[in-house]
Chains A and B, each alone.
Chain A
Amino acid sequence: MRLILISMMILCFSGLCSFFTGRNPRFANIMGAGGTVLGCLVGLVPATIVLWTGQTMSIHRPWQVPFGSFSLQIDALSAFFLFTILILSAVAAIYGNTYLWEYRKRKNLGTSWLFFNILVASMILVVISHNGMLFLMAWEIMSLASFFLVTFEDEKENVRRAGWIYLVATHIGTAFLFVLFILLAHKGPSLDFDHFISFGLNGTSMAGLAFLLSVIGFGTKAGFMPFHVWLPEAHPAAPSHVSAVMSGVMIKTGIYGLLRTLTFLGQPEPWWGWLLIAIGLGSGILGVLFALAQHDLKRLLAYSSVENIGIITLGLGLGVLGLSLNQPVLAVLGFGGGLLHVLNHALFKGLLFLGAGAVLHATGVRNMEQLGGLMRQMPWTGAIFLIGSFAICGLPPLNGFVSEFLIYVGAFMGTGLSGVSLSSIGVITGLAAIGGLAAACFTKAFGIVFLGEPRHTPALLGHEIGWGMRIPMMLLAFGCLAIGFFAPTVISAMVPVIGNVTGLLKIDIDTHLAVVTVPLQRVTALSCIFILILGFLIYLRRHLLSDRTPAQCNTWDCGFVRPTASMQYTASSYAQPITSMFGFFLQTHRKIHAPRGLFPAKASLHTHTDDVFFQGLFLPLFRGIERILLPLHWLQQGRVQIYILYVAVTILALLIWNLR
Chain B
Amino acid sequence: MQTISILHPLTALILSPLLPGIINRTKAFFAGRKGQPLLQTYYDLARLFQKTPVYSQTTSWIFRAGPLAGLASAITALLVLPIGGGAAMFNFTGDLIFLIYLLGVMRFFTVLAAIDTGSAFEGMGASREVQFSVLAEPALLLSLLAMGEIGEITLAAGIQETLPRLSLSGIYTSLSFSAWMHSGTVLLLAASALLIVLLTENSRIPVDDPTTHLELTMIHEVMVLDHSGPDLAMILYGAAIKLWIFSALLAGVLIPVRSGNFLLDGAATLGGIFLLTIVIGVIESSMARLRLLRVPQLLSGAGVLAILAIVLVLRG
- A positions within 8 Å CB-CB of B: 372-373, 375-376, 379, 382, 386, 390, 393-396, 401, 405, 408-409, 412, 415-416, 421, 425, 428-429, 432-433, 435-437, 439-440, 443, 446-448, 450-453, 515-516, 518-519, 522-523, 525-526, 529-530, 533-534, 537-538, 540-541, 544-545, 548-558, 563, 565, 567-569, 573-578, 581
Contact = CB atoms under 8 A, between A and B. Distances in A.
B57 A412 contact: no
Interface string B123-164: 110111011011111100110010011001000000000001
Given A409-B97, A530-B72, A551-B53, 5 more contacts: A425-B142, A428-B138, A530-B73, A540-B230, A545-B230
A412 B60 contact: no
Would you list the 9 A-B pairs with minimal beta carbon distance, nearest first?
A569-B123, A447-B115, A452-B118, A436-B134, A519-B92, A440-B130, A432-B138, A534-B72, A555-B56
Contacts of A525: 90
Contacts of B73: 530
B118 A563 contact: yes
A426 B285 CA distance: 38
Contacts of B97: 405, 408-409
A541 B112 CA distance: 19
A222 B228 CA distance: 48
A42 to B, nearest CB: 39
A525 B95 CA distance: 13
B58 interface: yes
- Majority DSSP secondary structure for residues of A touching B: helix
A551 B226 CA distance: 12
B121 A557 contact: yes
Contact of A541 (B68, B90, B124, B126): B68
10 contacts: A375-B60, A439-B130, A447-B112, A526-B76, A537-B234, A545-B52, A555-B226, A556-B117, A557-B119, A577-B127
A581 B80 contact: no
B25 to A, nearest CB: 29
Given A440-B130, A574-B127, A552 B166 contact: no
Given A425-B307, A537-B234, A452 B58 contact: yes
A437 B131 CA distance: 8
A557 B120 contact: yes
A408 B134 contact: no
B265 interface: no
Contacts of A390: 108
A550 B52 contact: yes
A357 to B, nearest CB: 21
A387 to B, nearest CB: 12
Nearest to A389: B108
B105 interface: yes
- Between B52, B120, B141, the greatest number of chain A beta carbons within 10 A of the residue's beta carbon is seen for B120
B180 interface: no
Nearest to B213: A558
Interface in B208-230: 214, 225-226, 229-230
Contacts of A555: 56-59, 117-119, 226
A544 B229 CA distance: 10
B258 interface: no
Contacts, number: 240
A556 B127 contact: no
Contacts of A432: 100, 137-138, 141-142
Contacts of B149: 415-416
Contacts of B57: 552-555
B311 to A, nearest CB: 8
B104 A439 contact: yes
Contacts of A522: 90, 92, 95
A549 B49 CA distance: 14
Contacts of A395: 101, 104-105, 108
A415 B61 CA distance: 43
A408 B128 CA distance: 26
Nearest to A443: B111
A550 B94 contact: no
Contacts of B296: 581
A439 B107 contact: yes
Nearest to A554: B56
B98 interface: yes
Nearest to A406: B94
B127 A573 contact: yes
A474 to B, nearest CB: 18
Nearest to B306: A429
Contact of B93 (A421, A519, A549, A574): A519
A570 to B, nearest CB: 8
B94 A405 contact: yes
A574 to B, nearest CB: 5
A534 B72 CA distance: 5
Contacts of B255: none
A429 B307 contact: yes
A373 B58 contact: yes
Nearest to B90: A522
A405 B102 CA distance: 13
Contacts of B49: 544
A89 B152 CA distance: 48
B71 interface: yes
B137 A436 contact: yes
Nearest to A412: B166
B120 A568 contact: yes
B314 interface: yes
B62 to A, nearest CB: 6
A548 B49 CA distance: 12
A126 B225 CA distance: 55
Contact of A452 (B117, B214, B310): B117
Of B111, B148, B311, most buried by chain A (CB within 10 Å of CB) is B111
B90 A421 contact: no
Contacts of B115: 443, 447-448, 451-452, 569, 574
Contacts of B225: 556, 558
A447 B111 contact: yes
